[in-house]
Amino acid sequence: MLVGINLLREGIDLPEVTFIAILDADKEGFLRSTTSLVQIIGRAARNPDSEVVLYADQMTESMTKALYETYRRREVQHAHNIIHNITPEMAISNIKSLDSVKSDADLTKSQEFGYINRGKTKRLKRMTKAEKAMMTHELTKQLKSHVDAREFEEAAKIRDQLKELAGEK
């Protein structure tokens, strides 16, 4: 996986990142300041097996300060881990494989959403208010259970069903 430096600098938490290469690390500026370098290097700290490589022709003051701060923080964390008998482990995220992501076209062509089949608005128009209310109640319960289980992709499908049932598009 290739991730742009701005995502790492902005604090996006990606524990799966195992290697960070900072190209032209000796080019002073906003993206190579001490604070930015510490922030980017800190992204790799989410994974105990990660590495950070700073590619540069010369050592800059920002790089020196960032490396000093990184090692200082590492020592503090290591001491804390020893005192509290903690073994570092990779954070677990709820990110799914990109293979499981479907496009909007795939969803509209082939995906059936429980009671509602996309493109079958005639069936919705023939439903009584009581039937729509019952279906809304049932879908809302399903939505809540998926959200509680942190199954956000399924919850999004049900949310879309609820919107379609309400007449929104």
Taking only the tens place, the pLDDT of each residue in 65-79 is: 999 999 999 899 999
Residues 74 and 18 in one domain: yes
pLDDT of residue 58 exceeding 90: yes
Range of the domain at 58: 5-83
73 vs 46, residue with greater confidence: 73
Residues 74 and 120 in one domain: no
94: confidence class by pLDDT, cuts 50, 70, 90? low
What's the average model confidence in pLDDT over 101-119? 47
* Predicted local confidence at residue 23, as pLDDT: 84
What φ, ψ does residue 74 adopt, rounded to 5°? -60, -40
Number of domains in the chain: 2
Q: Is the pTM of this model over 0.75?
A: no
Report whether 165 contacts 139 (CB < 8 A): yes
Two tokens at 75? 């020592």
The mean pLDDT value of the chain amounts to 76
The residue assigned the tokens 């499908």 is 157
Residues 9 and 52 in one domain: yes
